[in-house]
A = this chain, B = another copy of it.
Amino acid sequence: MNLTYPRRQKQLQSLLQKLGLPEKVPVQWHLLDLALTHPTFSAEANYEQLEFVGDAVVRLAAAEFLWETYPDCSVGEFSGIRAELVSDRILAQIADSYGLEAYLLLDRSAAGDIAGRETRLADALEAVLGALYLSTHTLELVLPWLATHFKQLAAEIRSDPARRNYKAALQELTQSAYKVLPEYEVKEMKPIRGNLQMFTAVVKVLGQTWGTGKGGSKKAAEQAAAKVAFEQSKVKMSNE
Contacts and interface: CB of A to CB of B under 8 A. Distances in A.
A33 interface: no
Contacts of A67: 49, 52-53, 134
Interface stretch (A18-26, A58-66, A93-101, A155-163): A58-66
A228 to B, nearest CB: 20
A18 to B, nearest CB: 26
Contacts of A78: 49, 52
Interface in A50-74: 51-53, 55-57, 59-60, 62-64, 66-67, 74
A181 interface: yes
Interface size class of A (residues with CB under 8 A): 20 to 34
A75 B57 CA distance: 16
A64 B53 CA distance: 6
Interface string A104-116: 0000000000000
Contacts of A84: none
A48 B64 contact: no
A179 B134 contact: no
A137 interface: yes
Contacts of A59: 56, 59-60
Interface string A160-193: 0000000000010000100101000000000000
A139 interface: yes
